[in-house]
Structure 1
Amino acid sequence: MSSITNLSCLFYNYSQMNCTWDINEQAPADAQYTLSYQFTGKTEVPTCHLTGCCNATCHFRKDKLIHFDIIQICVAESSQHLTKPCCISISPATYYKASAPIKVEVNETEVKWKPPRGVHPSDDFFYQVEITDNSNNVKKIEDVKLTKWIIENRKKSYSVKVRARIDNHFSDSLWSDWSQAVNIEPKPKDYTLLIEITLVITFVALVVLLMFTCRRYKLLENLCQPIPDPERMFKDLYDHHNGDFQEWINAKPLVTKVPDECIAVTLED
């Protein structure tokens, strides 16, 4: 009986496989483990590099990994007590995990991102967007086919993450890890229209108030009195001296009138 359980493997970037497994309590203390794999119809049985007691990483040449083929993966235990290897047979396409979408950015009315980096079995991806309402921490997930999501309500603050999976024609293909979250802040209120309306109302109110004041106190009538024309009142000044006041004054010397002789009158009682 094998002491190895729960063997599982994931494929990444069209060239890498990571496998993990558990060891039960009956495993010998001196046990060491080896992971190997073999494609159907191939005689080669390569081994993989162990990165810990219960995990291993395998690297493939791009022309060696065929995602819709079947690959048999075995973990063998080497110790004084020989046990049966633990093996699984899987299709890499079913257990392929894409990397997370990149360059997640917030534009004016939408969130955009780029597809996962790397070489994948398919360039056709499905996406999910996780939207967290920051006011109450309520989360919802939406399925998206395009590389963008339209922001529904710019009056709220959100936290948004995106993940992807390849379209490998299997309904249970694996989702990538979530991308780093980006925040969507509420759109600032535009007070331009309100300011314009306020200015118009203020202007109209001032005009009405001015008209009422002028009508009430007849200020408009007083302000609009005609300015006297000096040419009409001083014809000689303008007709003979071209409006030169100094010349006009000099041409008309002041004449002092000699008073009549006074005669003394005596009044008798």
Structure 2
Amino acid sequence: MFYYYQQMTCTWGIRAQAPADAQYCLSYGISDVQNTQSRTISRKNGWRNVTCHVQDVGFNLFNVMQICVTELGQNFSKLHCIDLTPVNYYKVSPPINIRVKENEVIWDEPEGNHPSHGFYYQIQVTKRSTNVMKIENVTSNSWNIENRKQSYSVKVRARINNHLDFSIWSDWTEAVIAEAEPNNFQMLIMIAVVFAFIILMSLVIFTCRKSLDKLWQPIPDPEMKFKGLFDYHHGNFQEWINAKSLGAKIPEECITVTVEDGIYA
């Protein structure tokens, strides 16, 4: 795999029959040309595979390249080689600055120096309401959001346009959320429903209060109607009735008196 124009990593396995003291010599260069670089790697602690890291391969990645690994033992030497075109195994860094602007998802090209200035993109779109995911190929650094009434999770990746058969896709970017735009009509309906509910509840409260006021009329105070019942008889109605009966005035009989001059009869 090749990165950032001149960096290379490679991995190979170690056969089970290889002796523990075997060493491995990595060499690479342009095919049919004398190898330009080589290094020797010792097997340690029972390694079953080996990884190499080369910072600067030092030639054009569009040229056919030969990579060889020589297995070296005390009494033997085995050579394993592969020919490849580096740009077919070139992996760019992910796109950057992915963002949502109006009806589009927009991003910038991968950072760094690459063997090609043209890129292909793929966008991974996941509908958040159903978790249904789809991947679309994109030739520009933007993607049009077809339905803003839905909310989406969006990731983007890139590969170089090497004008050959294929190249390696970058890793996916971190997900960016494209929120659904608010529906103004639905918002108006919601406001109208809330307003109608408030009015209805106000009418219910007002009606219930009027009904309760009629049901719960104030009880007259008997103290105002029956003088003396509570002041002198402590609310004892029978005692108050008897007292009123005893206090009633009986008319006295009249005695006729004749009055004459100086004489009373």
- How high is the TM-score relative to the length of structure 1? 0.62
Q: Match of 1:54?
A: 50
The alpha carbon displacement at 1:131 in A equals: 0.7
Q: Trace 1:90-239 onto structure 2 (pairs within 5 A).
A: 90-190=84-184, 194=188
| Residue 27 (str. 1) matches residue 18 (str. 2) | yes
SS at match of 1:94: helix
The alpha carbon displacement at 1:115 in A equals: 0.6
CA distance in 1, matches of 2:127, 2:28: 46
CA distance in 1, matches of 2:59, 2:41: 20
Q: Is contact 1:102–1:113 with CA below 8 Å preserved after alignment?
A: yes
Q: Trace 1:4-23 onto structure 2 (pairs within 5 A).
A: 10-23=1-14
Structure 1 residue runs without a partner (length 5+): 1-9, 203-269
Q: 1:165 to 1:49 in 2, by over 3 A?
A: farther
The alpha carbon displacement at 1:134 in A equals: 2.1
Q: Match of 1:38?
A: 29
Q: 1:47 to 1:130 in 2, by over 3 A?
A: same
Runs of 4+ in structure 1 displaced over 3 angstroms? 48-53, 191-195
The alpha carbon displacement at 1:98 in A equals: 1.4
**Larger Cα-atom Rg:** 2
Q: Match of 2:223?
A: none
CA distance in 2, matches of 1:100, 1:26: 40
Q: 1:109 to 1:48 in 2, by over 3 A?
A: farther
Q: Which moved more, 1:158-167 or 1:169-178?
A: 169-178
The alpha carbon displacement at 1:166 in A equals: 1.2
Q: Which moved more, 1:179-188 or 1:50-59?
A: 50-59
Q: Is contact 1:129–1:162 with CA below 8 Å preserved after alignment?
A: yes
Alpha-carbon deviations, 1:181-219, whole Å to 9, x = none? 112222233369838x97xxx9xxxxxxxxxxxxxxxxx
The alpha carbon displacement at 1:86 in A equals: 1.5
Structure 2 residue runs without a partner (length 5+): 197-265
Q: 1:48 to 1:165 in 2, by over 3 A?
A: farther
The alpha carbon displacement at 1:29 in A equals: 2.3
Q: Match of 2:242?
A: none
CA distance in 2, matches of 1:33, 1:133: 50
SS at match of 2:188: helix
* Amino acid in structure 2 at the alignment position of 1:76: T
CA distance in 1, matches of 2:31, 2:80: 17
Q: 1:154 to 1:50 in 2, by over 3 A?
A: farther
Q: 1:194 to 1:135 in 2, by over 3 A?
A: closer
Alpha-carbon deviations, 1:118-141, whole Å to 9, x = none? 111111111110111222322111
Count of residues in correspondence between the two structures? 187
The alpha carbon displacement at 1:48 in A equals: 5.1
Q: Is contact 2:72–2:78 with CA below 8 Å preserved after alignment?
A: no
- How high is the TM-score relative to the length of structure 2? 0.63
* Amino acid in structure 2 at the alignment position of 1:173: S
The alignment-based identity, stated in percent, is 47
